[in-house]
Amino acid sequence: MHKIIRPLTFALLALAASACKDQLDEYNPSGATAEAVFTTPEGFETAVNGAYTYNRVIYGKESGYALLEMGTDIWTAAASNDQTASSNVRPQPSLMSYQALNTDNVWVKNNLWTPCYQGINLVNQALKYVDQAGLSAARRPVAEAELRFMRAWYYYHLVESFGAVPLRLEPTEGVVTTATRAAVPDVYAQIFADLEFAVRNLPVTLGQFPAPATANDYGRITRPAAEAFAAKAYLSNGQYQRAAAYARKVTTAYSGQGIRLVASYASLWDISNQRNSEVLWAVNYSTNLTFNAGSHTGHQWFLMKYDDQPGMVRDVANGLPGVRYMPTRFLLDLYNEQNDARYLGSFKQAWIANSSTNIPRWSAAEVAQNPALAPLLNQPKFAVGDTAVLTSKRSIPDFDQRYTRRYRYKTYDIDDLYNADGSLKGERRYYPSLRKFDDPTRATATVTESSRDANMLRLGDIILIGAEAQVRLGRPDSAAYYVNLVRTRAALPGRTAAMQVTPAQMTLDFVLDERARELAGEQVRWLDLKRTGKLVERVRAYNPDARPGIQDFHVLRPIPQSDIDAVTNKGDFQQNPGY
């Protein structure tokens, strides 16, 4: 949301993690109190708006991609993702390979545990004053619904990531030195209580929010988005019938309000079309980057090192190559690009020459190997505007690469990158690059931040949640119906029939494969594998880099050691097994 909570409010309310600290030095230069701030409508709205902001720490950030996409079956480490660095220097290797994932991992603490509890504490503080804030009769239940949704959202991330966690429903005020971990069923019971309240009281569209909220507040939660999250939460908790009911409602009930799949999968990622009919809820990053408290950075991390290739220099259109994450062979093999538009809608494989200063020429050595090239001796191999580099998920015969004019540009095919078992041959710089988060509107080629919004819930995701629920309920016909909705949209022209699936194909593994094709990179994969009980199995089967490190206990993250060290009742607040 564009509104940013005032620094005073942060000083009053943002307490780290479960607020377990050896010492807390408090200083409030203004003298204002939470009671003074939140007992006015204007002050209370800063709390409502502020409750959303903690998603900015997770969604659209490098740490968020590491926490929610990496260490799965579909991504592995690219060249700049140092596999040997310690977690306090560069934490992402521990999340990628599991071998160094430990209780001091700074991203687990600072970018998941702490912001979720900060958001929860802010919600609890606001709910304490909801009846004293002077809100209108129309606004009061909606404001409470927004706050309770956010509490459910943050607790969902915590309980799925850490298992039993402290369950706090009152604001933490002052120093707390004890903590207990509530059982997973108790945490989920609170999630569902908050979610059901939100579903009952949220409006269907932004335009129905009572003042002071307005339809201009893109990013505010609505009823369809709350129902979409409810489908995920109930599915994760094994309540498949409720999950199926919510997924069906989101899929079918709101077309009159403009909620539907966009016609073209690729158009989902057009930055000029990012606020489209499929997005149910997103972090709204401003085009004025100074307002964002850290903008979207996803455009960097999946991008290969293109700017050292013949005919290529770094520019805005091609992006800022972070070279962090590359697809596993398993992910690339999931796509049939002859039928499915999602491969080219998701990945960039061809790079067009943008510089004449480093275009190679046919050499005497090449002519000696292939005399047919003699007329081309010392001539440029290609020109600006021609293909300079091709990264392919298919095999290109060596003869074609070396000796024909057709492949005069540089190629990296599947056999250059991967062995047949999916292990990498050593080349981690050049690969098909996820393009979903590209931002060609950045001011310069060196700008690291983007104004792109970060989707947290979209319709394609929830349709496949419905398919998964139907598989769990033993209804393959219904599961195939849902899967075919997204596959029909994904079909290339004339290939719709080839894209259809049958009830006999409907298994949990097939749905997970389909979710990979549809949602790769969208910060859902780790939670998908965790929810389905497939994390360890599929990482061992499809991610050779992570296979040696992953253990059964990695289905939960480690509780930050600093919080365990701070409590006095250590017998009641213990670490997750294995850490």
pLDDT given for residue 96 in this prediction:
78
Lowest mean pLDDT among 41-55, 111-125, 132-146, 404-418: 404-418
Residue 221 is which amino acid? I
pLDDT given for residue 174 in this prediction:
80
Kindly state the tokens that stand for 349: 């494989």
Taking only the tens place, the pLDDT of each residue in 316-374 is 999 999 999 999 999 999 999 999 999 999 999 999 999 999 899 999 998 898 888 89
Question: Would you call 480 helix, strand, or coil by DSSP?
Answer: helix
Model confidence band, residue 22 (pLDDT cutoffs 50, 70, 90): very low
Percent of the chain, pLDDT > 90? Answer: 81
Across 140-172, b (16+ Cβ under 10 Å) vs e yields: bbbbbbbbbbbbbbbbbbbbbbbbbbbbbeebb
Model confidence band, residue 199 (pLDDT cutoffs 50, 70, 90): very high
Query: Chain-wide mean pLDDT for the chain?
Result: 90
pLDDT given for residue 372 in this prediction:
84
Q: By 3-state DSSP, what share of the chain in percent is helix, strand and coil, each rounded to 5?
A: 45, 5, 45
Q: What is the mean pLDDT of residues 275-291?
A: 92
pLDDT given for residue 404 in this prediction:
54
pLDDT given for residue 168 in this prediction:
96
Lowest mean pLDDT among 12-21, 105-114, 487-496: 12-21
Q: What is the mean pLDDT of residues 233-261?
A: 98
Model confidence band, residue 241 (pLDDT cutoffs 50, 70, 90): very high
Interstrand relation of 410-412 and 387-391 (parallel, antiparallel or unpaired): parallel
Cα–Cα distance measured from residue 113 to residue 557, given in angstroms and rounded to the nearest whole number: 10
- Whether residue 337 contacts residue 343, with contact meaning beta carbons closer than 8 Å, is answered with yes
pLDDT given for residue 12 in this prediction:
34
pLDDT given for residue 20 in this prediction:
38
For residue 93, is pLDDT > 80? no
Surface-to-core class of residue 378, CB atoms within 10 Å of its CB (0-12 exposed, 13-18 middle, 19+ buried)? exposed
Q: What is the 3-state secondary structure (H, E, C) of 187-214?
A: HHHHHHHHHHHHHHHCCCCHHHCCCCCC
- Point out which residues pair with 434 in neighbouring strands: 347
pLDDT given for residue 2 in this prediction:
36
Cα–Cα distance measured from residue 337 to residue 303, given in angstroms and rounded to the nearest whole number: 20
Number of Cβ within 10 Å of residue 474's Cβ equals 10
